[in-house]
A and B are shown apart, each in its own frame.
Chain A
Amino acid sequence: MGGKFLFDGRPVPFEEGQTILEAARAAGHYIPHLCWHPDFPPHGSCKLCVVKVGGRHVSSCALPARDGMEVESNTPEINGERRALLQMLFVEGNHFCPSCEKSGNCQLQALAYELDMSSARFAHFYPDRPVDASHPDVLLDFNRCIFCELCVRASRDVDHKGVFALTGRGIRKHLVVNAESGRLADTDFAVSDRAADICPVGVILRKRVGFAVPIGERKYDEAAISSVAMEKGE
């Protein structure tokens, strides 16, 4: 029943069943994450929440805390691994931030800033997946998807619509819309859906509101994601 573990050398209490990430956050320690969201069960795809426990690298969003664990998170080794994961996500998609409406409000970008990523280093894939602008209120740019399945989960479990899915294997994995035509307009998706607001990056975008927020006032302009996420409980 509950107990304490060491998080970067500091004692953190936990309750039975809490994951390392949940308990650390409750104690005020931020752990980077992309596919984890407080309203949903862990997903385990992005691996940004990696921490070192007993010499092994584990996903803190999925691993239940145990008494006496020694957890390393904010170390050069672990942050280096996180940076490499971010770099892989950047080269897999077309992340041209200068023309992306999500810039300044994007978790992937904000984490890259947080973790001192100055370039993506690897060779770029430059995927070619056409935009879906069929829906009157929302457009989809599939080339920025990081496969967190938050939209899939929100649409299925909260909106009870099942609008989105991931399909394909390996590097060909991609987001699809569950309609025979494959077009968002041919689903019952609505701009008021939970899935419309959940994407941490710039895939699911509301139309006609892009670039409305001045530079300097966007979510991560003033403060780094490590503090914004803790303040807003994200």
Chain B
Amino acid sequence: MSDSMSLSRVRVATTSLAGCFGCHMSFLDMDERLLELAKVVEFDRSPLTDIKHCGPCDIGLIEGGVCNAENVHVLREFRRNCKTLVAVGACAINGGLPAQRNHLDLGDCLQQVYVKRDGVEEGGVPDDPELPLLLDRVHPIHEVVRVDYFIPGCPPSGDAIWKFLTDLIGGRTPRLPHPLLRFD
């Protein structure tokens, strides 16, 4: 690929915050259409590349809700750099199943897992400053930054992601018709 071609390609960054990587797997479920996509898209920071920080991009795809301090930093980095930011999947959209911890006391949760659980020896809640602190609640990403589009689903199907991206890259308003629109 010559430099001039790569310059004209759409730059896409992706990340997983409080996600399960399932949305990224659905992304890969586009299968051989990924080759089509690779002709028009160049990847910036993503679990699929080695790039450590998000640079200026056209599209940012965010999987997962916001559950810890590092998620907040990464999400803000994406928002600063991406012209169009997309919440992908139920977790990014409403916190998803991880947000089922929102009515529990965070201290109790940590005690339960790291101290009280059967078989835990020399238990103690990890407190190294290297580790990001959990937020008391899991948040949808739109509660932290402005979001341009939402692709629902847990996960959205490869077909839905394909339809969305081809619409967006093709300059059309992305729209998921029934039955590509799914919350489950």
Contacts and interface: CB of A to CB of B under 8 A. Distances in A.
A96 B142 contact: no
Nearest to A103: B184
Contacts of B95: 124, 126
B75 interface: no
Contacts of A45: none
Interface stretch (B29-37, B38-46, B47-55, B99-107): B99-107
Contacts of B99: 94, 96, 124, 126
A99 B178 contact: no
Contacts of B102: 126, 128
Contact of A98 (B147, B149, B150, B184): B184
Contact of A103 (B93, B137, B183): B183
B175 A116 contact: yes
A114 B172 CA distance: 20
Nearest to A121: B142
Contact of B178 (A98, A113, A124, A128): A113
A100 interface: yes
Interface of B is mostly: loop
Nearest to B102: A126
Residue among A97, A99, A119, A124 facing the most chain B CB atoms (10 A cut-off): A119
A103 B90 CA distance: 13
A221 interface: yes
Interface of B: 87, 90, 93-97, 99-100, 102-103, 137, 140, 142-143, 147, 149-152, 154, 175-176, 178-179, 181-184
Contacts of A94: 99-100
Interface residues of A, number: 28
B139 to A, nearest CB: 8
B183 A116 contact: no
A95 interface: yes
A155 to B, nearest CB: 28
B100 A119 contact: no
Nearest to B99: A126
A100 B154 CA distance: 12
Given A98-B183, A121-B142, A126-B102, A114 B90 contact: no
Given A118-B181, A119-B93, A126-B95, 13 more contacts: A91-B94, A95-B94, A96-B97, A97-B183, A98-B154, A98-B184, A109-B183, A113-B179, A116-B175, A118-B150, A119-B94, A127-B103, A128-B102
The 7 closest A-B pairs by CB, nearest first: A98-B154, A128-B103, A119-B150, A97-B183, A103-B184, A118-B150, A126-B102
A184 to B, nearest CB: 21
17 contacts: A94-B99, A94-B100, A96-B100, A97-B154, A97-B184, A98-B90, A103-B184, A118-B150, A118-B176, A119-B87, A119-B147, A119-B150, A120-B94, A121-B142, A124-B94, A126-B137, A224-B178
Interface of A is mostly: loop
Nearest to A225: B178
Contacts of A91: 94
A222 interface: yes
Residue among B176, B179, B182, B184 facing the most chain A CB atoms (10 A cut-off): B184
A63 B175 CA distance: 34
Interface string A103-123: 110000100111010111101
A99 B91 CA distance: 12
Given A96-B99, A97-B183, A90 B176 contact: no
A126 B184 contact: no
B136 to A, nearest CB: 11
